[in-house]
Structure 1
Amino acid sequence: MKDWESLAAFALTLPDTVAGRHYGGAAIKVASNGRAFVSIGREADSFVLSIDSDTKEVLLETDPATFWQTPHYEGWPAVLVRYDTSDPDRVQDMVTRARDQAAARKASKPRKKT
């Protein structure tokens, strides 16, 4: 996955997924509950992967060249992922895992319009 378009194309092949928006940016969500599991990052050459905190810690420790964070993501169940990785299969596996975790959650609450 070299960029957002190729990542999104892969993520949309997973079951029950749809393109959408998350915090104002492009995202791929679970269609049945509206939960985003990948979204475009503000950081250059990376996307945001929403994943449980335990897996996040393992990813940061075992492959910091691919999985990283800024202070903004510390303490949150999300990690930045560089598109340019030496292990694209692992990234695909983590995207699939993130989709499965998001699918297991309750539907997100709609945002109030102000």
Structure 2
Amino acid sequence: MSPPHEAFTWESLRALALSLDLPNVEDAVSWGQPNLKAHGKMWVWWSPQEQAPVFKTTFDEREFLIEVDPDTFFYTPHYKSWPLILVRPDKLDPAWAVTNLKRVWREQAKKTFLKKWDAAQADLRTTLD
């Protein structure tokens, strides 16, 4: 677990997500609320009702996370039918958020895009070595 930190806000979560410098990420507004989209699909956002960030996940992962850490992870009836999880802003581990954001970013990308992007990243690593 990471050391304690200030509670996340939409602004600090947005800054963390944008600091990953992943392509095809953009600011958007859905249902009157700011969010970030990746590859044209909602990627991460803030629930104004719960005052908590919303992350995409799988139903299995959501159940596991809530079982092992119910003080951090939760969902409400509004989110029950969707593969989404809310995280208490004062408990959000930045490392977990980064891992989730990277995974979901990849899942939302078209395979042809990822193939080219991965090849370019491999070339870049080879050049830097």
Identify the TM-score tier after normalising by the shorter chain.
0.7 to 0.9
Which residue number corresponds to residue 64 of structure 1? 70
Q: Offset of 1:104 from its aligned partner?
A: 4.9
TM-score by length of 2: 0.68
Counterparts of 2:109 and 2:74, CA distance in 1: 24
User: Secondary structure at 1:96's aligned position in 2?
Assistant: helix
Determine what percentage of the aligned residue pairs are the same residue. 34
Asked if structure 2 preserves the Cα contact closer than 8 Å seen for 1:36 and 1:102, the reply is no
Q: Which structure has more helix as a fraction of its residues?
A: 2
Q: Which has the larger radius of gyration?
A: 2
Structure 2: gaps (5+ residues): 1-6, 112-129
User: Secondary structure at 1:12's aligned position in 2?
Assistant: helix
- 1:6-52 superposed Cα distances (whole Å, 9 cap, x missing partner): 1001111231211112232111111xx31111112123431111222
TM-score by length of 1: 0.75
Counterparts of 1:86 and 1:55, CA distance in 2: 16
2:27 equivalent among 19, 23, 47: 19
Quote the RMSD (CA, aligned, Å). Answer: 2.1
Counterparts of 1:65 and 1:43, CA distance in 2: 18
Structure 1 residues 20 and 80 mapped into 2: Cα distance closer, same or farther (>3 Å)? same
Counterparts of 1:95 and 1:4, CA distance in 2: 15
